[in-house]
Amino acid sequence: MAELSMDDLMFRPGLMRGQRVLITGGGTGLGKVMAEACLMLGADVYIWGRRGGVVEDAAKELMDAHGGKCVGRACDIRVPEAIHDAMDEIWADGGALTGLVNNAAGNFISRTEDLSPRGFDAIANIVFRGSFFVTLDAGKRWLEEGKPASVVSILTTWVWHGGPFTVPSAMSKAGLNVMTQSLAVEWGNRGVRFNAIAPGPFPTEGMSARLNPTGQGANEAPKDPMTPLNRNGEMRELANLAVYLLDPGSAYVNGQTIAIDGGGHLRGGGFSRLAEWGDAEWEQARNAIRSANEKDRAQRTV
Ligand code: HXC
Ligand code: NAP
């Protein structure tokens, strides 16, 4: 089902006319809603995923709802040759991309000691290696042709504070964070800029099935205690940020990773639960601290 209407978007109609955007993993979840926003604003949109039927159906559904051009194609980003062939098709279909969203990912919660090497690879091969292969294939073309482009990678806030029980994902996303910073500098003066988005919880089918499999995880709507705003993200909020970073209107923004998590990652450390305290708890705490201070003071000799 299409998710957005023009009222959800912050931008004028036609903003992205003439732009050509590839979104990996664009057949579902956050990738699909970013594809939808770009399509609605006039871009030609390409979406890849391993399940050909899913991306083809999504492309059709989005075009039925909004018109425009959206092409769904099976492509496994773990395979550099498959990426190269699919990228050839895009270039042959209308020229250079102007934007790339590295969105495809794999993830599941697991105690790290329970992971097998293949379990680690299942995630790292998609997120860490696959996203790099896609970026490299498109990047070589942009540099050779002297074409400008904007690359946006979808990370997680775990790149700043770690991701216990999701270590392969957190490690892989952290690698992409460093890729963003590195290539922003290396390729920036040739017109290819790099930014990233670190979303907090945006419940999607793919995410919920792997990170909240019993329905009792920390990401449940509507009141996630890790989110100061006491709510999950809304799809349109993510879509607006992605459009902003893809569009030349943000051309001076380069090498940045922007959290869209209601400030969740800033709560970090051990005190975040204190947000749940009321007046009684604070009064009790203040009294306890005062009495500890008084006891210490009574022992002072100077
Ligand atoms: C431990 C597991 C496991 C689990 C799989 N494995 N699931 N190990 N716990 N829950 C191990 C398997 O045992 C196997 O190792 C190896 O991983 C490969 O498993 P396959 O099922 O063959 O993998 P594959 O078919 O390649 O599928 C990849 C996948 C799958 C990553 C495992 O989940 C997938 O396709 N995901 C795509 C979509 C997705 O994950 N979306 C969520 C994104 S949400 P052995 O040794 O046994 O052979 C997200 C949110 C972040 O990132 C932030 C939220 C706030
Ligand atoms: P999702 O719907 O499961 O999206 C993942 C997509 O990646 C799927 O469409 C999947 O399609 C595709 N994919 C996986 N492996 C691939 C491969 N080898 N080649 C090509 N495509 C592949 O989950 P989501 O929640 O929308 O997540 C989207 C992105 O947001 C991910 O990067 C995720 O880490 C990030 N994120 C999500 C949240 C959240 O709360 N939802 C929070 C933070 C970050 P196929 O299975 O058909 O290949």
* Ligand 2 center from residue 137 Cα (angstroms): 20
pLDDT of residue 222: 42
Asked if residue 13 is part of any domain, the answer here is yes
Predicted TM-score of the model (pTM):
0.93
Asked if residue 302 is part of any domain, the answer here is no
- Domain coverage including residue 187: 6-297
| C-beta 127 within 6 A of ligand 1 | no
The sign of the torsion formed by the CA atoms of 167, 170, 171, 173 equals positive
* Ligand 2 center from residue 108 Cα (angstroms): 11
Domain count, the chain: 1
Asked if residue 144 is part of any domain, the answer here is yes
Which CA distances in Å does 122 have to 22, 48, 164, 297?
23, 18, 17, 58
Give the mean pLDDT of the chain.
Answer: 93
pLDDT of residue 61: 98
Asked if residue 292 is part of any domain, the answer here is yes
Asked if residue 1 is part of any domain, the answer here is no
| C-beta 33 within 6 A of ligand 1 | no
H helices then E strands: how many in the chain?
A: 11, 7
Alpha helices in the chain (DSSP H): 29-40, 52-66, 80-92, 117-124, 131-145, 158-161, 167-186, 205-211, 235-246, 264-267, 279-299
Ligand minimally distant from the alpha carbon of residue 24: 2
Q: To test the ligand 2 pocket, which listed residue (24, 28, 169, 179) has its Cβ within 8 A of the most ligand atoms? A: 28
CA 178 – CA 155 distance, rounded (Å)? 11
Asked if residue 108 is part of any domain, the answer here is yes
Which CA distances in Å does 298 have to 287, 288, 301?
16, 16, 8
pLDDT of residue 143: 98
Asked if residue 288 is part of any domain, the answer here is yes
pLDDT of residue 134: 99
pLDDT of residue 211: 80
Q: To test the ligand 1 pocket, which listed residue (108, 161, 169, 211) has its Cβ within 8 A of the most ligand atoms? A: 108
pLDDT of residue 275: 77
CA 67 – CA 88 distance, rounded (Å)? 24
Check: CB of residue 90 under 8 Å from CB of residue 97. yes
Which CA distances in Å does 248 have to 151, 184, 234?
11, 15, 24
- CATH number for the domain spanning 17: value is 3.40.50.720
State which ligand 2 atom lies nearest to the alpha carbon of 126: 18
Ligand minimally distant from the alpha carbon of residue 217: 1
Ligand minimally distant from the alpha carbon of residue 210: 1
Asked if residue 27 is part of any domain, the answer here is yes
Can you give the pLDDT of all 302 residues of the chain as single tens digits?
A: 899 999 999 999 999 999 999 999 999 999 999 999 999 999 999 999 999 999 999 999 999 999 999 999 999 999 999 999 999 999 999 999 999 999 999 999 999 999 999 999 999 999 999 999 999 999 999 999 999 999 999 999 999 999 989 999 999 999 999 999 999 999 999 999 999 999 999 999 988 877 877 665 544 444 455 678 989 999 999 999 999 999 999 999 999 999 999 999 998 655 666 778 889 988 898 888 888 888 888 888 77
